[in-house]
């Protein structure tokens, strides 16, 4: 609820280098999902981020990412539905992790 993550599973959104990083990587993470392990501040997170490709459209993915950026990385740029559509097209044949549904 507070973006603090889950120990050993999901990293916290606070101070996330990924939120401050390239938009394309965040969009790929939402569309394809991502498997750990991931190291942050000496701690290992080893979970599976589901793919949202089949569940959320381009507007919804842009909106949820902009919510994260506004809340935890306010100095970062914002993401448009057009950027999501571009990455969706580029990753049309990519291997997906399971969705949350």
Q: Which stretch binds ligand HEM (CB under 6 A): 9-17, 71-79, 80-88, 89-97?
A: 9-17
Distance CA 87, CA 22 (A): 12
Asked if 80 and 45 touch (Cβ cutoff 8 Å), the reply is no
10 is a contact residue toward ligand HEM (CB under 6 A): yes
Total residues binding ligand HEM (CB under 6 A): 19
Q: Would you tell me which residues interact with ligand HEM (CB under 6 A)?
A: 9-11, 16, 18, 26, 29, 34, 36, 38, 45, 47-50, 52, 64, 68, 100
């Amino acid at each position: 609820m507070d973006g603090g993550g889950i120990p050993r599973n999901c990293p916290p959104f606070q101070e996330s280098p990924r939120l401050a990083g390239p938009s394309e990587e965040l969009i790929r993470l939402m569309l394809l999902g991502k498997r750990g392990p991931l190291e942050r501040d000496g701690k290992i997170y080893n979970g599976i981020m589901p793919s949202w490709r089949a569940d959320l459209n381009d507007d919804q993915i842009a909106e949820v990412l902009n919510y994260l950026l506004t809340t935890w990385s306010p100095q970062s740029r914002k993401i448009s539905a057009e950027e999501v559509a571009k990455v969706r097209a580029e990753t049309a044949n990519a291997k997906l992790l399971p969705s949350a549904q």
